[in-house]
Amino acid sequence: MVTTHEQIEQNLRSVRNRIAAAARRAGRSADAVTLVAVTKYAKADVVRTLVDLGVRDLGESRPQQLGERAALIDQSVRWHLIGSLQRNKARRTLSVVEMIHSANSVRLLRHLDYLAQELEIRPRVLLEVNLSGEATKHGFDPVALTSEWDGILSLKHLSLEGLMTMGAWEKDPERTRPTFAGLRELRDHLRERSPADVPLEHLSIGMSNDFEIAIEEGATFVRIGSALFEGR
C-alpha cells in the first residue's frame, strides 16, 4: 500500500473520472452517485489525506474502528457502516454514523428501531441482501426479505432508504451485472409494496472491482477501498 499524498490524489481523480464516465454511459448524473471511501485497511494519516482532498463520505466495516476514527477525524465527515453490527455496539454506532448499509436481520432492525425511539432519532438504514448465495456473505435471503417486508415496514423509527449487496468477486466484473440488476428489481418490487414515504431510493452496490457496472445498473452509493489506496 502506498501512502503518498500524490498517489492518493491521482487515485481519487481516476476513480472520480471513472464514476463520471460510467454515469454518462448510463445517462445518469454523476451527482446521483456518492463515493464512499472505504478506509478499513488504510492508516489514519491516509484517511486524513482523503478528507483534505474533499472526500466527505467514509466507510468502515467494523463498528469499533469506525467509532475510533470518527473521534479522530474532522466533524464534517459522514461515516457509513458497511459491515456487520452486533446489537451490543448499536447504540454507540448510531451516535456517529450517517447511514448503516448493512442491516442484515429483522432482529437487528427491531433493536435499531427500539434504540431510535429511545434516542429520538431516525437512523438512515439500508438492508443488506445476499444475492450471490455465498454462505460467507451476510445479508437477507431475498425471498425471506420479501416475506418479512410488511413487518419491517412497521418499524416506524427507521428511515428505510434502500438495499445493499456485495457482488461475488469476479475476474470479469461484467459477470456481477446480474447480481446488481437483481438487487434493483428486488428494490422495485419492495417499493411497490411500500407507502410513499418509503421510496427506497438507494442502491449501495459496487466496489473497486465492479463499480462501473454497478453505476450502469443504478448504484447511488459505491463503496471503494483498494482503488483509492493501492499503487500501480
Residue window 168-207: x/- pattern of binding to ligand PLP, with contact defined by CB under 6 A: ---------------------------------------x
Residue 200 makes CB contacts below 8 A (sequence gap 6+) with 160, 161, 162, 163, 187, 190, 191, 194
Residue window 5-44: x/- pattern of binding to ligand PLP, with contact defined by CB under 6 A: ---------------------------------x-x----
With beta carbons less than 8 A apart as the criterion, state whether 85 and 63 touch.
Answer: yes
Of 81 and 152, nearer to ligand PLP (C-beta) is 81
When binding is defined by CB under 6 A, the residue of 8, 50, 82, 160 that contacts ligand PLP is: 82
Contact between 208 and ligand PLP (CB under 6 A)?
Answer: yes
Query: Which residues are paired to 160 by β-bridges?
Result: 125
From the CB of 151, what's the least distance to ligand PLP, in Å? 25
- Fill in the amino acid letter for 11: N
C-alpha closest to that of 69 among 90, 38, 91: 38
Of 123 and 139, nearer to ligand PLP (C-beta) is 139
What single DSSP character describes residue 167?
P
Quote the distance between the C-alpha of residue 159 and its chain's center: 15
Contact between 83 and ligand PLP (CB under 6 A)?
Answer: yes
Round to whole Å and give the CA distance between 94 and 86. Answer: 12
Residue window 108-137: x/- pattern of binding to ligand PLP, with contact defined by CB under 6 A: ------------------------------
Round to whole Å and give the CA distance between 115 and 43. Answer: 32
C-alpha closest to that of 12 among 57, 73, 55: 55
When binding is defined by CB under 6 A, the residue of 37, 81, 166, 183 that contacts ligand PLP is: 166
Task: Note the residues at the interface with ligand PLP (CB under 6 A).
Answer: 38, 40, 61, 82-83, 166, 207-209, 223-227
